[in-house]
Structure 1
Amino acid sequence: MQKKAEAAQFPAVLELPQVDSTNNYALSRIREGLAYHGMGVFAHEQLAGKGQRGKKWVTAPGQNIHLSLILAPKSLELDHLFALSAMIAVETRAFLADLAPGNWFIKWPNDIYFQDRKAVGMLIENIVTGQKWKWAVAGIGVNINQDHFPEELKQAISLKQITGKNYDCLELANGLAKRIFTRFEALDAGFEETFTTLIEQYNRSLYKRNEQVRFLDETGTRFSAVVKAVSRDGRLELEGVPKQVYDFGELSWLMGRG
């Protein structure tokens, strides 16, 4: 037991006043041989934050969490990539639900929503050599104290808007990082048992589960389907359409979009 407790201890995240992207900074540490498993990078201001599919992640300086975590898988393999994404989504959702109990959801694949508004975006970038998964950099952006958003981000919501309280972003980032690194150790050490629990937790909190949702597919076709679950390999399972399973990137949501 003592050995497990020691394995779950990680240093405080590296604090930066400003950076183009915490993911870029973390990736540069890896390239320069200066990274280690359990390293976290936090910036008070991010000038060129990155989101999914090449989108920008734009937030007000000093008011939110801009965090990247560096992980070095030992036992995990390339077909476990979604397990990491699911784990980070589950732990981030739980972390926020502890701070502000309420209707927190995971929008496939890994955005976090409060009711129908987006509070968290993530971008995981991987370094693979041959068939060996060497590093993962998990970028997590959490809206914390920002109380006004641009018109194009009108669906965004912050923790302060939910609770009316102000928070110490760096303190929260450290708490979130330690929670994620600790769960990662369990996932890496005992994949099957840990991931079975994780995918159950993920699907229990799945956004719009058992509800009709409008989608746009790669061909430009709009359709409605019922969201059922996400499979162990990270594909969205739908009901009421001929093609019932979709990979990330094959669909866009036309309702509840972040």
Structure 2
Amino acid sequence: MNLIKLSAIDSTNTFLKKLASSEKVENFTTVVAEHQTDGKGQRGANWTIEPGKNLTFSVLYLNDSGLNSCLFTLNVIVALSVVEGLQMQSNLKFNIKWPNDILSENKKIAGILIENTLKSQTQIQSIIGIGVNVNQELFENLPQASSLFLLEQKKIDKDLLLKNIVDRLEYNLKELNEFEEVYFWEEYHSYLYKRDIVSTFQGALGQRFVGKIIKVTSEGKLKVLLEDDSEVDFDIKEVKMLY
């Protein structure tokens, strides 16, 4: 693993994107920062951390084939790789909350943000940003967030966790052609939070409704069974699960 360690940076995604645009960067190059001042999550949310206590890192993935037809497969594999890396050091049960949050005991433990750029007709550059709440003890005004330390009451080796997650990510992406996409999708759905459980959702206009998650479609949309037995596909900005 080609690892670049930084003490503080605004965003590891931004740093790695600029680096890759100015020079040739090895595939799976990883940038990790002890403190990230402007980390971003899904829906434009900030990712707030206590310096030195968590993992904030980004991985470069250059894809020449295999994910062009279904780009959300990359999200699937990244989420699975984070779960697998966490399971190597933790006895907690983890779930994937669509599209890319990792939960344990109904608390957010990790988040993922992937930025894709079409470099040519055959190559896609992906900057995979991952944040994991590892040893943080306080989460002010964040009732839905927690850390591995708070849930397990033990300190976690951040460097080992980083290695485990990146190793799983590299392994899974390299095995994609052998296992085919369906294998990873089945695994993803086995971890999907609140699948087949009646849940409350909020639409883009603030309206609340009840439904059951059926699956995530190949386009990355959430398929929900509503009370009238109709099935509706929601995009990321169209619905929010309340939990």
TM-score relative to the length of structure 1: 0.88
What amino acid is aligned across from residue 226 of structure 2 in structure 1?
G
Distance 2:70 2:3 in 1: 26
Tell me if the contact between 1:22 and 1:46 (Cα under 8 Å) persists in the aligned partners: yes
Unaligned runs of 5+ in 2: none
Asked if 1:229 corresponds to 2:229, the answer is: no
Give the distance between the partners of 1:60 and 1:79, measured in 2 at CA. Answer: 39
Matches within 5 A, 1:112-151: 112-129=102-119, 131-151=121-141
Question: Could you tell me how far 1:86 is from its partner in structure 2?
Answer: 0.5
Aligned ranges 1:208-227 → 2 under 5 Å? 208-227=194-213
* 2:240 pairs with 1:252: yes
Alignment correspondent of 2:190: 204
Q: What are the equivalent positions in structure 2 for 1:74-85 lying under 5 Å apart?
A: 74-85=64-75
Are 1:40 and 2:3 matched, yes or no?
no
Among 143, 149, 156, the alignment partner of 1:160 is 149
Please give the root-mean-square deviation of Cα atoms over the aligned residues, in Å: 1.7
C-alpha separation in 2, matches of 1:47 and 1:17 = 11
State how far apart, in whole Å, the 1-side matches of 2:144 and 2:207 are: 24
SS of the residue corresponding to residue 65 of structure 2 reads coil
Q: Give me the whole-angstrom Cα distance separating, in 1, the residues matched to 2:26 and 2:78.
A: 19
- Aligned residues with identical type, % of pairs: 30
Q: Which residue of 73, 78, 92 corresponds with 1:102? A: 92
**Match of 2:23, SS?**
coil
Amino acid at match of 1:251: V
Structure 1 unaligned runs (5+)? 1-10
Distance 2:204 2:139 in 1: 30
Return the offset for 1:34: 3.9
1:134 to partner: Cα distance? 2.5
* Separation (CA, whole Å) in 2 of partners of 1:231 and 1:42: 32
Deviations 1:34-77, CA, capped at 9 Å, x for gaps: 42211001111111111112111111000000010000002134
> 1 CA distance for matches of 2:167 and 2:226?
41
Q: Distance in 1 between matches of 2:20 and 2:120?
A: 17
Residue 6 of structure 2 is matched in structure 1 by: 16
AA at the equivalent of 2:49: T
Relative to the length of structure 2, the TM-score reads 0.93
Per-residue displacement from partner, 1:15-37 (whole Å, max 9, x unpaired)?
11111111011101111124221
Q: Give 1:130 deviation, angstroms.
A: 5.8
Partner of 2:55: 65
Give the length in aligned residue pairs: 241
8 Å CA contact 1:42, 1:170 repeated in 2: no
Give distance in 2, aligned partners of 1:77 and 1:100: 30
Aligned partners of 2:6, 2:159: CA distance in 1, in Å? Answer: 10
- CA–CA distance in structure 1, aligned partners of residues 90 and 163 of structure 2: 18
